[in-house]
Amino acid sequence: MPRQIHLALHPYGVGGPGQHGLWKDPRIAKNASIDIRYYIRQAQLAEEALFDALFIVDSQFINSTYPSHYLNRLEPLTLLSAVAVHTSHIGLVGTASSTYNSPFNLARRFASLDHISGGRAGWNVVTSFDTGTSRNYGLEEHLDYATRYGRALEAVEVIRGLWDSYEDDAFPASGDVFLDPTKLHALNHVGEHFRVDGPLNLSRSPQGQPVIFQAGVSEEGRNLAAAVAEGIYAPGSSLDAAHEYYTDVKRRTAAAGRDPDHIKIFIHGGPVVAPTDAAAREREREIFAEDNDFARNLALLGRGFGAHDFSVYDPDGPFPDVAHLAERGGRTGATKIIERARRENLTLRQVVDSVNEFKHSPFVGSPQTVADTIEQWFAADTFDGINLAFRTSEELEFFVESVVPLLQKRELFRTSYEADTLRGHLGLPVPANRYAS
């Protein structure tokens, strides 16, 4: 069977980063981010189009400058549990922090979603770069980069061990025997960051274990992906950058002794599709103008530096010395900003404008143009799938009606579901239980 594209849907609600003004669109319900009917409908539209997964992002710290969707949104696993009973095939991927959750709690919650959905759950492992999160969990200081990634790696190992607590045939439920106790296993883990006895009080699901997703472009992030990830959310700013990331992570995966085909890399895609290329490009410019506000962009810059308040500085003065904030924030992106500001002697205003300057998206144009570009990028080994985000349901529907059939005609996307689980959609193996003979 030829290699095919995977598609996931990432709902915006009332507007995430770069979509701050979306809530003003009359087609967007002002409570979309907390209305479960919105998410159910988005999932059903994606499922009708045979998408692989619905992806829900999350963070646990806000202030008044954060994007609209961040200010008032549902907790991912609660949301996805509700969506699960209104869908039958689409995968359900939720974001949860390994820094601010205990492994036992995460193992139980995601395993529960996996059972509720019949084997469609995925966990997007994040380490939380919002430094203010620490103060919501009784800690004075956010953990440093190395500690967060070390904790994440150990957390995944512990959680996978807990998911193996029961062998598949542990419950004969026959005669006087409900449980075969020889098929139940305590983990008894003692590590650098966690001590967890187990076992988990929940059996394995039809897909064995939820699928592990991860996102990260730093050295630590790429190494974590190569070690444990089965799906990755990756940057897709340019064809060359996406190809470099794709080949590098696949190489690291092979070096870690894993099959590179068992890690699926999804790039972000925010398509703008219109009947003609010119109309799509004009709409792309309009979207940029709607969201391009200096004060808002200044606040958004601060998020990568631990929600630092850049409004206290003279915008036309030199970019401030904030290198010490990068280590406990979004280090990779923050470091690049600092290095460029120093190299080019930029003011704070120039940094904000350069970070938020208009950039053409590759997936903008007529349906034919967008399908051609997707095919070109896919053939160039830049992704296994695209994590798609649309501003409105109407835009999602137009993509499904106009672009998806072109991909199907070229045999680049499925014409029917051939599996019932998320692992099945992605072509990932069911993990063997470590205790089974």
Which amino acid would we find at residue 337? I
- Which single residue is written with the structure tokens 């205990």? 102
Under 8 Å between Cβ of 95 and 76: yes
Cα–Cα distance, 100 to 60 (Å, whole number): 9
Which amino acid would we find at residue 303? R
Assigned token pair, 54 = 């619905």
| Closest-CA residue to 50 (of 4, 6, 115) | 6
Residue 138's contacts (CB-CB under 8 Å, 6 or more residues apart) are: none
Omega prior to 199 cis, within 30 of 0:
yes
Under 8 Å between Cβ of 315 and 302: no
- 421 labeled part of a ligand binding site: no
Cα–Cα distance, 10 to 53 (Å, whole number): 9
Phi, psi of 231 (to 5 degrees): -140, 145
Under 8 Å between Cβ of 263 and 225: yes
- CB burial class (10 A; 0-12, 13-18, 19+) of residue 176? exposed
Secondary structure letter of residue 33 according to DSSP: G
- 58 labeled part of a ligand binding site: yes
Assigned token pair, 52 = 């692989």
- Which single residue is written with the structure tokens 């995925």? 122
- 95 labeled part of a ligand binding site: yes
- Local structure of 318: helix, strand or coil: strand
Cα–Cα distance, 223 to 150 (Å, whole number): 11
Q: Are strands 189-190 and 231-234 parallel, antiparallel or unpaired?
A: unpaired
Cα–Cα distance, 368 to 371 (Å, whole number): 5
Cα–Cα distance, 336 to 162 (Å, whole number): 38
Secondary structure letter of residue 402 according to DSSP: H
Cα–Cα distance, 380 to 139 (Å, whole number): 45
Q: Are strands 264-269 and 231-234 parallel, antiparallel or unpaired?
A: parallel
Length of the chain: 437
Residue 258's contacts (CB-CB under 8 Å, 6 or more residues apart) are: 226
Phi, psi of 224 (to 5 degrees): -65, -45
Residues of the binding site: 58, 95, 149, 218
Residues of the binding site for FMN: 58, 95, 149, 218
